[in-house]
Amino acid sequence: MATLKVENLSKEYANGVKALNNVSLEISNGMFGLLGPNGAGKSSFMRTVATLQDADAGSIFLDDIDVMADPVALRKVLGYLPQEFGVYPRITAEQLLDHVAVLKGIQNKGERKELVHYLLQKVNLYEKRNKSVKGFSGGMKQRVGIAQALIGNPKLIIVDEPTAGLDPGERNRFHNLLAAVGEEVIVILSTHIVDDVRELCVDMAIMNKGQIVYKGTPDAVLEDLKGMVWQKSIKRQELDTYQQNYKVISDKMVAGNPQIHILSEHHPGEGFEQVSPSLEDVFFTKIDEVNA
């Protein structure tokens, strides 16, 4: 079983933005969710672990590989699917994966062909192997992206915002593929979509403003909020008043009016009903703690 240890990782950009602020995490085999709003520092974390940018301070170890001292060793066992997976114009799925296999050092042509066909079958794209990737749907491109990330028997796979823009059917297919991959290696899934983490991950962290604000299992953090989340439907003009008088953690429109969730240890008053906390409630609660 592989283990990724990140300690006291910091990164500040030239414009003064502190993207990573003393981040420490330990991650083992399985699906690990890194949840946070846009701009939280998730992509900076991913890019640093993937050796695409240097950190200002801290350390990263994948088992006995010192990632910051020997980035080449990490790249040999890394699979990476960035947020924007670009493809060459007019290249087929089979040609693309063959090209990546060459770049990853698989020289034998027959071995490459066997591997590429195996991966295309694994991501359910074998029948489309001679089609141009440029014409694929978003979900199909992401499946090709996972296939290329699996070349070279990686110990660590990094997936950045993989389901953004996918329709529900493509999202479900991609989830099933990720879940199967995550049984064998470390998969870090960076996302701002709460449902992705709830449905896929056995361990997670929430990130905001370059800091880790929660680390643990989804079940444990939901237990922490048990009995403290209350719901009420209100009129739109009442929202400001409720935000001033209660700890409103979220509001969303239901049947034309806001439905608010608040955090309270006691019954907050007339019209409120207690509800089971969701991971979305956890997300907004932890983000609010940093913003406060």
Is 156 in the same domain as 67? yes
- At 93 the pLDDT is 93
Q: Which of 194, 218, 242 is at the close of a domain?
A: 218
CB 194 within 8 A of CB 279: yes
* 264-291 pLDDT, tens digit each: 999 999 999 999 998 889 888 888 775 5
Is 37 in the same domain as 162? yes
- How large is the average pLDDT for residues 89-110? 90
Please indicate, yes or no, if residue 110 is contained in any of the structural domains: yes
pTM assigned to the model: 0.83
- pLDDT band at residue 86, thresholds of 50, 70 and 90? low
How does the average pLDDT of the chain come out, rounded? 90
Is 210 in the same domain as 232? no
Is 62 in the same domain as 42? yes
Tell me the HSE value of 63 on the side-chain side, using a 13 A CA sphere: 11
In order of 48, 49, 68, the CA distances from 57 in angstroms are 11, 13, 10
| CA–CA dist 139, 165 (Å, integer) | 9
Q: Which domain holds residue 266?
A: 227-275
Is 140 in the same domain as 260? no
Examine the pLDDT at 144 and tell me if it is beyond 80: yes
The label of the residue with tokens 């992401």 reads 142
- At 228 the pLDDT is 94
* 193-239 pLDDT, tens digit each: 888 888 889 899 999 999 999 999 888 888 889 999 999 999 999 99
Pairing of strands 211-216, 203-208: antiparallel
Work out how many domains the chain is built from and give that number: 2
Is 185 in the same domain as 267? no
In order of 41, 48, 55, the CA distances from 45 in angstroms are 6, 5, 9
